[in-house]
Amino acid sequence: MTQNEHGTIWSSSPAPQPGNAGTVDECAAPAAMPVYRGDIVLASASPRRREMFAREGIPVKIRPSGAGEHLPMALAPETTVMFLALCKAQDVAAREQGFIVAADTIVVADGRIIGKPADEEEAFAILSLLRNRTHQVITGVCLIDNT
């Protein structure tokens, strides 16, 4: 077993045995769990985004953005999500210090961005539109480190 200058521990596998195709070097698990920054700020009220961090054991402060989702001009869907994520990150960074993580997700069908439904009836109409049709789900992410 050997430890390199980065603290990674590895060991070489034994020589291949008859009937065994052989194995490659294996990385052993790190000696300690990773340590995450304590200043990660999630600029979102999304339960799913919160769950993603929690599932990985990454502590975050939840600070939903108050930024609107209005575009200054017509933008391509990929640019739209990046712009909206940037707006959300900047909004939270103006009042919080830390490593700000913001995201925006849209659904695109037939080249058209499908907005968030206003009510249950509109949600049903959107789901009906998407049913049995190809559509895209696009997410843009913005990270701002203002520590």
In contact, 136 and 107? CB cutoff 8 Å: yes
Residue 145 among the catalytic residues:
no
**Angstrom distance (rounded) from CA 61 to CA 57:** 13
Provide the b/e sequence for 107-144 (b: ≥16 CB within 10 Å): bbeeeebbeeeeeeeeeeebeeeeeeeeeeebebebeb
Residue 107: left (phi > 0), alpha (psi -120 to 50), or beta? beta
Per annotation, catalytic residue among 39, 104, 110, 119:
104
How many whole angstroms separate alpha carbon 129 and alpha carbon 110?
Answer: 10
**What are the catalytic residues?**
104
